[in-house]
């Protein structure tokens, strides 16, 4: 849960990167992601990761991204071992393992710097149906609330003698039932209340709702976008045609 929250939950920030148009942030993360799929050596992958970390540093979220990377490393090691078992090839297994880390880092970069409002904006740009976008944004908005609810439910049940930290795997899973059921029930109740509130504020009255906030791409955003594509193109070119001649 910590990993999820540290790596993918948005937190307010004021860096130059945060202030970019969300579509540019998405573009950058998408390009990073694509690059990880196109590289062909460990060194190249490492370069991509370093580049991503540099961006994280500019966005002043380096610590969080770094921590996410470390937490992902354990799972990554698992991927490495499994691959070794099946392919017996050290290099490709390492690439798969590190690639996983790179993918997590590039997507994490987007989610921790783009607020749910910005996510909504991006989704609208892709012409997703209004209800889907709304459901998504509302769900994200309630993540911190549900996390708090879970803690409170756990507290309440611990106070009735429930031991959550003892027992074998089977017992521990069974002990989660008194936590999961109230959580689900609360979510259902919450959905009902939300539906009432939505109706009461005329949701669905008009086919195309207006928007209070407008996301205008600034010149800086367009320039950054063009630069990102240029760097990407350059990077891929050098990975494919320049580097293999000199490095493994």
Partner 1 sequence: MFLWPAGRGNRRVPDSEFAHHSSRSRHQNGIGEPEGRQMAEVVRAEEYGFRYNESKKWAVKDFNLTVKSGEIVVLAGPSGCGKSTLLRSVNGLIPHMYSGQTAGSVSVDGRAVGETPMSVLAQEVGLLFQNPENQIFMFSVERDVAFGLENLGIPRAEMRERVDRAMHLMGITELAGRAPHELSDGQKQRVALAGVVAMNPKLIILDEPTSLLDPRTALELVDLLQKLRKENGTTLVVVEHRLDLLVTVADRIVVMNEGTKVLDGSPKDVLFGDLAEGYGISVPAITRLQKLLAKDGRVASDRLLSAKELAGLMGGVRS
Partner 2 sequence: MIEFENVTFVHQNGVKALDQVSLRVQQGETLAIVGENGAGKTTLVRHVTGLLKPTSGTVKVKGLETTRASTAQLSRSVGVAFQNPDHQLFSESVYDEIAFALRNFGFSPQLVEKRVKWGLELFGLEEYRDSSPLVLSGGEKKRLTLACILAWDPEVIILDEPTVGQDAIQKERLAGTIKLLGTAGKTVIVVSHDIEFLWPIQPRVVVMKSGRIVADGPARTLMLEKEVLEGARVSQPELVTFYQELVRRPEAPFVNPLEAERWVK
Q: Is 178 in the site for partner 2 (CB under 8 A)?
A: yes
> What is the length of the chain?
248
Interface pick for partner 2 out of 91, 131, 163, 199 (rule CB under 8 A)? 163
CB of 159 to partner 2, least distance (A): 5
CA 133 to chain centre: 17
Taking the C-alpha atoms of 128, 190, 3 and 153 in order, what is their torsion angle to the nearest 10 degrees?
Answer: -170
* 49/112 with CB nearer partner 1: 112
* 88/208 with CB nearer partner 1: 208
Q: Is 157 in the site for partner 2 (CB under 8 A)?
A: yes
25-28 contact pairs (CB < 8 A, 24+): 25/109, 25/110, 25/113, 25/114, 25/118, 26/110, 26/114, 26/122, 27/225, 27/228, 27/229, 28/55, 28/109, 28/110, 28/224, 28/228
Helix axes 143-158, 177-200, angle to 10 degrees: 140
Q: Is 177 in the site for partner 2 (CB under 8 A)?
A: yes
Q: Is 181 in the site for partner 2 (CB under 8 A)?
A: yes
- Show the tokens assigned to 207: 């086919």
On the 0-12 / 13-18 / 19+ scale of CB atoms within 10 A, 148 is exposed
Stretch that binds partner 2, among 22-30, 135-143, 177-185, 234-242 (CB under 8 A): 177-185
CB of 25 to partner 1, least distance (A): 12
Stretch that binds partner 2, among 16-24, 99-107, 158-166, 203-211 (CB under 8 A): 158-166
Residue 177 site contact among partner 1, partner 2, none (CB < 5 to 8 Å, cut-off depends on kind): partner 2
- Is the separation of the CB atoms in 17 and 59 below 8 Å? yes
Provide the mask over 37-76, with x wherever binding to partner 2 is found by CB under 8 A and - wherever it is not: ----------------------------------------
Provide the binding-site residues for partner 1, judged by CB under 8 A: 12, 23, 27, 115-117, 125, 134, 137-138, 140-141, 144-145, 148, 190, 193-217, 222, 225
Give the integer Cα–Cα distance in Å for 96 and 101.
Answer: 9
Give the integer Cα–Cα distance in Å for 1 and 121.
Answer: 27
* 195/242 with CB nearer partner 1: 195
Binding site for partner 2 (CB under 8 A): 149, 152-153, 155-163, 165, 177-178, 181-182, 185-186, 189
């Amino acid at each position: 849960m910590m990993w999820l929250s540290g790596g993918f939950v948005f937190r307010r920030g004021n860096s130059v990167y945060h202030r970019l148009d969300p579509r540019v942030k998405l573009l950058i993360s998408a390009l990073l992601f694509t690059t990880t799929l196109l590289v062909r050596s460990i060194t190249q992958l490492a370069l991509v990761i370093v580049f991503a970390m540099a961006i994280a540093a500019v966005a002043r979220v380096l610590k969080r991204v770094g921590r996410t990377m470390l937490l992902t490393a354990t799972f990554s090691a698992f991927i490495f071992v499994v691959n070794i078992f099946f392919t017996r090839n050290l290099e490709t297994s390492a690439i798969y393992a590190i690639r996983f880390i790179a993918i997590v880092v590039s997507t994490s970069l987007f989610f921790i710097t783009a607020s749910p409002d910005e996510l909504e904006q991006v989704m609208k740009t892709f012409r997703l149906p209004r209800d889907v976008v709304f459901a998504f944004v509302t769900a994200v908005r309630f993540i911190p609330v549900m996390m708090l609810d879970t803690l409170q439910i756990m507290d309440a049940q611990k106070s009735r003698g429930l031991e959550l930290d003892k027992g074998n795997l089977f017992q521990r899973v069974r002990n989660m039932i008194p936590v999961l059921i109230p959580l689900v029930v609360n979510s259902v109740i919450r959905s009902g209340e939300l539906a009432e509130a939505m109706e009461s504020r005329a949701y669905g009255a008009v086919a195309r709702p207006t928007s209070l906030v407008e996301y205008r791409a600034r010149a800086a955003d367009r320039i950054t976008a063009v630069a990102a594509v240029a760097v990407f193109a350059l990077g891929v070119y050098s990975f494919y045609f320049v580097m293999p001649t000199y490095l493994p």
